[in-house]
């Protein structure tokens, strides 16, 4: 499993546009590029962090060519709503102990 961590500095007042564009782009990447999805976290009013999971680094590096034309508009909406988009980390998983439900005893 390969994970990528992104950092976004959103223009004040453009948070809704950013979140909608992020969601739509993530769905397209999942459907057309073979990602395993992503999670978006809000650190402050205009600072967001996301991490995306991929089956492999190679799959991530080769992504982008299979997206439909609408992805260009969505990508532009993300750019128009942010001051900064940064890839912070590229990580190979060594252990995975995340669960989708709490432990039940």
Q: What is the pLDDT of residues 1-10, one digit of tens each?
A: 999 999 999 9
Using alpha carbons, select from 8, 1, 4 the residue that is nearest to residue 78.
8
Q: What strand order describes the sheet that includes 38-42?
A: 38-42, 47-54, 2-10, 82-92
Q: How far apart are CA 48 and CA 10, in angstroms?
A: 8
Domains and CATH numbers, the chain: 2-92 (3.30.70.100)
Each residue's pLDDT tens digit, 62-94: 999 999 999 999 999 999 999 999 999 999 999
φ/ψ region of 30 (left if φ > 0, alpha if ψ in -120 to 50, else beta) reads alpha
């Amino acid at each position: 499993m390969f994970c990528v961590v992104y950092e976004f500095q959103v223009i004040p007042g453009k948070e809704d546009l950013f979140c909608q564009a992020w969601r739509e782009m993530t769905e397209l990447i999942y459907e057309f590029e073979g990602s395993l999805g992503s999670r978006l976290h809000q650190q402050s009013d205009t600072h967001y962090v996301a991490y995306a999971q991929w089956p492999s680094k190679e799959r991530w590096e080769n992504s982008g060519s299979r997206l439909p034309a609408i992805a260009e508009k969505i990508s532009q909406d993300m750019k128009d709503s942010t001051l900064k988009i940064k890839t912070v980390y590229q990580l190979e998983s060594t252990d995975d102990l995340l669960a989708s439900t709490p432990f039940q005893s």
